[in-house]
Amino acid sequence: MASWTTLHSSVAELPSDDELQLSPGDAIGPKDESYTVIRKLGSGGFSTVWLALKADSNLIVAVKAADADESGAKAAMDEVRFHRQLFRREDTGETEGNVARPPPLSSPIPIVRLLSTFEHLSSNGNLHHCLAFEPMDGSAWDFARKPTPLKVIKDVLRQTLVALKFLHGRGAVHGDLHPGNILTTTADVTQAHQASDEHSRVIAKLSDLGASFWACANRRWTPVPSSYRAPEQVIRSNYLDYRIDIWSFGCIMYELMCGGRQLFVTASIPGEMSPDECHVYQMVEVMGPLPEHLADCWGKFGENYNGAKSRYISSRPLTLMLGKVEGASPAADLLQRVLALDREKRPSAAEILKHPFFEEE
């Protein structure tokens, strides 16, 4: 699912009839919970997102308005349900109002807070399910695209791990982890890229639980962008668990440290290799031979691995890929563990936080 903090396409797309259309100054929400639209923040697979001001409290929120079709409504209800289950009080199951009791503003859990939900009837008669979240300034993509101090990168990654530790500890899997779903906020995002002050700090929070699921749900697919898929997702070797998030985290870590360069770029060689084959071959180049149990799950890979297509494989160890970026040595050691092709060997979020890479400088 796309990040909702910014519109990433430079080409204007015609909105669908099911997409909510608003202009600055328009009201959204029922009369007893009305918001005034400030501007559009972006759009995702089944929704649009609007920066809005709550009339009776001057509270600024990000309103995620689901498309008025079956897919949009289901995605919104699934996300609300997941928030309720994730943050419910374990002792009573109590909720506040129409949403789960969210973590307080001072909460150490770095997950974007769902503040309320409501329905909005648009001028064309469409009904949109809306979720009001705390607003954020940008996303981790902002730090991948510009030179960023290693200290800031570590801080963003550390907070992401704390969120994953909480999710995984509850038996949940994010399922769509990429830089656009790690939202950030500062007084001025530009200053964070130039920050050298040891006291400057970016707040990072995990967002978009619309694709999240419980590890016991026997999932084999999630909508995470191709470049962030784990081997077991590409090969479809098993039911998915929290370790797909760990793999995605490793891809994000590499990308942030290397100025936006992705570790794995999905492509194809017409008549030779499919995008999935190319993806797996890149994994082998960086991480070494595919474990036997994974090769066995994907017959054609086993057939081609030692055959003619092996000419496309060349060694690209992580130490070489990271080059001379700051912190390359401990980063390579950590990524070697995080990006283990065998998911049984990947560390947990809690274990990653203890790695020397995250030691205070």
Structural domains in the chain?
27-133 (3.30.200.20), 138-358 (1.10.510.10)
The answer on pLDDT for 290 being more than 90 is no
The pLDDT tens digits of the residues spanning 230-240 come to 999 999 878 99
Q: Return all residues near 155 (Cβ < 8 A) that are at least 6 apart.
A: 201, 202, 204
End-to-end alpha carbon distance in the chain: 35
β-sheet bridge partners, residue 133: 62, 114
Helix orientation angle between 243-257 and 150-169, rounded to the nearest 10 degrees:
170
Q: pTM score, two decimals?
A: 0.85
Q: Which residue has the higher pLDDT, 272 or 231?
A: 231
Pick from 265, 327, 274, 320: nearest CA to 298: 274
Pick from 224, 208, 209, 222: nearest CA to 49: 208
The answer on pLDDT for 21 being more than 90 is yes
pLDDT tier at 302, thresholds 50, 70, 90: low
Mean pLDDT (the chain, rounded): 84
Pick from 82, 65, 54: nearest CA to 4: 65
- Under DSSP, is residue 312 helix (H, G, I), strand (E, B) or coil? helix
- Rounded to 5°, angle at Cα 49 from 191 and 105: 60
R_g (Cα) of the chain, nearest Å? 21
pLDDT tier at 312, thresholds 50, 70, 90: low
Please count the other Cβ atoms lying within 10 Å of the Cβ belonging to residue 265: 11
Q: Return all residues near 165 (Cβ < 8 A) that are at least 6 apart.
A: 348, 349, 350, 353
Tell me what pLDDT residue 8 has: 35
Mean pLDDT value of segment 68-84? 92
Tokens 């699921």 belong to residue: 213
Query: Residue 299 carries which side chain, given as an amino acid letter?
Result: G
The pLDDT tens digits of the residues spanning 169-209 come to 999 999 999 999 999 997 443 444 454 444 458 999 999 99
151 is in an annotated binding site: no
H/E element holding 163?
A: helix 150-169
Mean pLDDT value of segment 153-171? 96
Q: How far is CA 318 from the centre of its chain?
A: 23
Q: What is each CA distance from 353 to 67, 160, 330, 338, 339, in whole angstroms? A: 38, 10, 13, 12, 15
SS3 content of the chain, % helix, strand, coil (to 5): 40, 15, 45
pLDDT tier at 102, thresholds 50, 70, 90: low
Q: How many CA atoms lie within 13 A of 131 on its CB side?
A: 32
Helix orientation angle between 243-257 and 328-338, rounded to the nearest 10 degrees:
160
Q: Would you say 3 and 139 are in contact if contact means Cβ atoms under 8 Å apart? A: yes
d(C-alpha 16, C-alpha 13), whole Å: 9
- The strand ranges marked E within 12-160 are 27-28, 35-43, 47-54, 59-66, 95-96, 99-100, 114-121, 127-133, 138-139
